[in-house]
A = this chain, B = another copy of it.
Amino acid sequence: MAKNSAAAADSATVTMASALNRAMREALSEDSSVVIFGEDVGPLGGVFRITDGLTRDFGENRVWDSPLAESGIIGTAIGMAMYGMRPIVEMQFDAFSYPAFEQVVSHVAKMHNRTRGAVRLPMVIRIPTSGGIGGVEHHSDSSEAYWTHTPGLTVVTPSNPADAYSMLLEAIRSDDPVIFLEPKSRYWMKEKSEGNLEPLPMNRARVVREGTDVTLIAYGPTVSVALETAELGTHEGLSVEVIDLRSLSPFDDETVGASVRKTHRAAVIHEAAQFGGYGAEVAARVTEREFYHLAAPILRITGADTPFPAPLLEKFYLPNPERILDSLSTWQWED
């Protein structure tokens, strides 16, 4: 299919979906220990078609459909990784990774530590994450706060095709297990900006737009929302810097700190519920480290503290540029 043959360099013309597909193709080609399995990832190519064509091109012993059981998928991937393979598994949606919670938290995250480093689990858990596509209940959760609170997990999320490609390859090659969150609302967007992205290690945040008045800290699906906000902000005379975190765990204190020391104000934006969300960590740690540089508290503009709503209500739940700008106006800008 055309979308798979597009080169990453030529990223202005590719979608995140095809960039991810291409990263997996490359990994399968270069390393025979890479395997892919999960629900519907074989002939169907996954419900989002991210593994499109991989069974056909690499065979059923490299890319295959597993039985329908997420704990089973993660648990067997652990055993495979213990035997030197590099499994990539897909959880169909965040909420359907929850049956595997014990395997992820008690084993994926802890095996390396448990064995004093003797056992490595080089595996990637891909999860199409977040909302914005009008999914019915359980199809729009953002699970990052559960994973990032769990020591032993590395959690990353790309916001554009170029990063999706390079970060997935890096995650597959990593000797640590990686939770790879794919913002499903971005799968089919053709991004404008990523053609000229510098390659960057997956554990670093990226300043995607420079500004001087305020730093918007975003990741995954909210990066484009932050960029829109920045654009809108110019009309109000606001110079907005936007950071794409890329890596949620570890957190890039350096890049974010530098920005905040420049702008003195920051807001973090995510889709997940606010209470105990990832934004709390961002706000707490940046405040801890940069308190005396902050002119105002770090705001969190996030999903509401409610379950993710039904499709027709999601627009009221998700952070949007107007709401973000409104929130910034609650700060005491004058002092």
Residues on A close to B: CB < 8 A? 71, 95, 98-99, 101-102, 105-106, 109-110, 113-114, 137-138, 145-146, 148-152, 249, 251, 272-273, 275-281, 283-285, 287-289, 291-292, 294, 296-300, 304-307, 332
Contact = CB atoms under 8 A, between A and B. Distances in A.
Contacts of A279: 284
Contacts of A283: 280, 283-284, 287-288
Given A109-B307, A114-B137, A280-B280, A148 B275 contact: yes
Contacts of A277: 149, 281
Contact of A280 (B71, B281, B306): B281
25 contacts: A71-B99, A95-B102, A99-B101, A101-B101, A109-B307, A110-B137, A146-B146, A148-B276, A149-B272, A151-B306, A249-B276, A276-B276, A276-B281, A280-B285, A283-B283, A283-B288, A284-B287, A284-B298, A284-B300, A287-B287, A288-B298, A289-B297, A291-B294, A291-B296, A291-B297
Contact of A307 (B113, B251, B297, B300): B113
A91 to B, nearest CB: 12
A279 B294 CA distance: 20
A296 to B, nearest CB: 7
Nearest to A98: B102
A219 B283 CA distance: 21
Nearest to A292: B332
Nearest to A149: B276
Nearest to A285: B280
A150 B101 CA distance: 14
Contacts of A149: 145-146, 272-273, 275-277
